[in-house]
């Protein structure tokens, strides 16, 4: 079930919100947990059993990981329980997400030696990368003594399976939401009134902009390598840079808005990333919940930047190889992660990770950062590395070939207008960020934006959904 499907918008979401309004406050977590499992089962089917198995293992392990107040050092028993649970969580992720990729590499190597090796084909469970990271956050935060383990299985199921963030984030660390799981919520109508405009913003981003650009972008990236041109390469790069941002930030806005309507405050995930002046700043603004997760559970445990430049660069390299691999089992994702890790290391080594104060230099650095990000997205989106390098090569080799007939058909006047309007995000200032502004500000501009979204925006998006022009969220595949 997708947030932009008629089934969700006109039946599931109203039913859940109505149940929360009419039922006692103490039923909140139960309604959210049951509704979330139904939501997941409609899309994942039998994979719901895999999610439930992971939930049972991590829930049972939670109390055993709590430190004794008299323990000065972690006991060996708790340490081995933590290692075992994390190994279980990662093994589920590795088998279901990476077994096919691993066997493909082994088959390729075996072919070089004149042998044969079977390739495993496994369907990818929806949201497996996200609920795995939630489980790891839960057990690690308990082990560190930052939060107590949950004794109520319904509260635990609410955290792990909460449908706003289950399929594609934001990645909610346990310590960020643990204090919200007790059912103290009282202002239910206020929460719905505050969360719905944020949900409407995300729906408009997805249905009006991202889905409109999708056919054009798909046509560009489906162009045969020998037909690639300067114009197609740039149209595809810019189009996908915008499509991915409006698709994923739209999902995050919808998730945060839904969470607020359910009585939860989910963390922000985007903060105008295309206004960044450096790659370092970009990663403080793009998919922020993923960056924070890797910082807290990988980068800092490895030593962070506390052991000198050499180990800092090593730690950054490890984090960004894992970041790339987390997105998918393909070399394009790994190289994309290496590309960004290398850029961060270069910025840190040269002292370029700080934004310059001179306005002209800031504009130049912002343009360079956006160019590097767009190049990275070409690698990320391409079917293989060879195609990515071909497309990038054409971006820097001007010609007069123009567009193919297929792309001209996909590149309608409507999509041209939407593309030009979406490009405004490249020129907007870093602040204020639209999502939080909608929820909290009472200024005249924020009120006008809310009214526009709640009337014209939501109506047009609903028409697009009703006509079946929506597509799955891009991050569902990760």
Q: From the candidates 134, 135, 287, 327, which is the catalytic residue?
A: 327
> Which of 270, 248, 287, 35 minimizes the C-alpha distance to 162?
35
The answer to whether residues 122 and 99 touch, using CB atoms and an 8 Å cutoff, is yes
Could you identify the residue written with the tokens 């000065």?
Answer: 72
> Which of 99, 117, 98, 115 minimizes the C-alpha distance to 107?
117
H/E stretch holding 237: helix 230-262
Separation of alpha carbons 281 and 411, rounded Å: 33
Separation of alpha carbons 453 and 463, rounded Å: 14
> Which of 250, 237, 238 minimizes the C-alpha distance to 210?
250
Separation of alpha carbons 151 and 418, rounded Å: 50
CA torsion sign for 359, 363, 364, 368 is positive
The answer to whether residues 282 and 373 touch, using CB atoms and an 8 Å cutoff, is yes
Provide CB contacts within 8 A for 448, sequence distance 6+. Answer: none
SS3 73: coil
The answer to whether residues 324 and 336 touch, using CB atoms and an 8 Å cutoff, is yes
Number of Cβ within a 10 Å radius of residue 446: 17
**Which tokens belong to 293?**
């997760």
**Which tokens belong to 270?**
């985007």
The answer to whether residues 214 and 243 touch, using CB atoms and an 8 Å cutoff, is yes
Residue 340 annotated as catalytic: no
- Radius of gyration for the alpha carbons in the chain, expressed in angstroms and rounded: 23
Please list the active-site residues: 327
């Amino acid at each position: 079930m997708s947030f932009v499907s008629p089934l969700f918008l006109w039946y599931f979401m109203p039913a859940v919100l109505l149940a929360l309004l009419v039922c006692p406050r103490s039923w909140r977590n139960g309604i959210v947990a049951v509704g979330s499992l139904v939501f997941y089962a409609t899309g994942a089917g039998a994979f719901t059993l895999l999610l439930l198995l992971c939930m049972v293992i991590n829930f049972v392990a939670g109390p055993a990981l709590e430190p004794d107040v008299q323990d000065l050092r972690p006991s060996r028993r708790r340490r081995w329980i933590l290692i075992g649970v994390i190994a279980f969580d990662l093994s589920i992720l590795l088998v279901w997400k990476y077994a096919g990729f691993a066997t493909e590499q082994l088959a390729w190597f075996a072919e070089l030696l004149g042998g044969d090796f079977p390739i495993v084909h496994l369907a990818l469970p929806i949201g497996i990368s996200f609920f795995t990271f939630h489980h790891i956050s839960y057990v690690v935060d308990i082990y560190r003594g930052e939060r107590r383990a949950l004794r109520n299985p319904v509260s635990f199921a609410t955290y792990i399976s909460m449908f706003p963030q289950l399929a594609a984030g934001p990645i909610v660390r346990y310590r960020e939401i643990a204090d919200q799981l007790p059912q103290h919520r009282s202002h239910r109508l206020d929460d719905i009134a505050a969360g719905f405009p944020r949900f409407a913003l995300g729906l408009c981003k997805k249905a009006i902009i991202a889905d409109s650009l999708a056919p054009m972008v798909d046509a560009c990236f489906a162009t045969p390598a020998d037909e690639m041109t300067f114009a197609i390469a740039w149209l595809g790069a810019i189009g996908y840079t915008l499509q991915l941002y409006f698709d994923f930030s739209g999902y995050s806005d919808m998730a945060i808005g839904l969470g607020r309507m359910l009585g939860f405050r989910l963390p922000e995930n985007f903060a105008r990333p295309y206004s960044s002046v450096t790659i370092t700043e970009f990663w403080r603004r793009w998919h922020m919940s993923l960056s924070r997760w890797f910082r807290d559970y990988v980068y800092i445990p490895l030593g962070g930047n506390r052991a000198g430049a050499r180990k800092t660069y090593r730690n950054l390299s490890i984090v960004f190889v894992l970041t790339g691999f987390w997105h998918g089992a393909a070399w394009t994702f790994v190289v994309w992660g290496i590309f960004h890790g290398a850029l961060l290391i270069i910025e840190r080594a040269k002292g370029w990770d700080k934004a310059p104060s001179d306005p002209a230099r800031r504009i130049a650095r912002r343009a360079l950062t956006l160019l590097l990000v767009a190049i990275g997205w070409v690698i990320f989106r391409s079917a293989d590395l060879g195609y990515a390098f071909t497309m990038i090569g054409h971006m820097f080799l001007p010609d007069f070939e123009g567009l193919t007939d297929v792309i001209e058909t996909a590149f309608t006047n409507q999509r041209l207008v939407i593309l030009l309007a979406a490009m405004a995000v490249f020129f907007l200032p870093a602040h204020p960020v639209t999502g939080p502004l909608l929820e909290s500000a009472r200024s005249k501009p924020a009120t006008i934006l809310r009214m526009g979204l709640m009337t014209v925006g939501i109506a047009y998006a609903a028409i697009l959904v009703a006509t079946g022009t929506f597509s799955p969220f891009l991050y569902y595949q990760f």
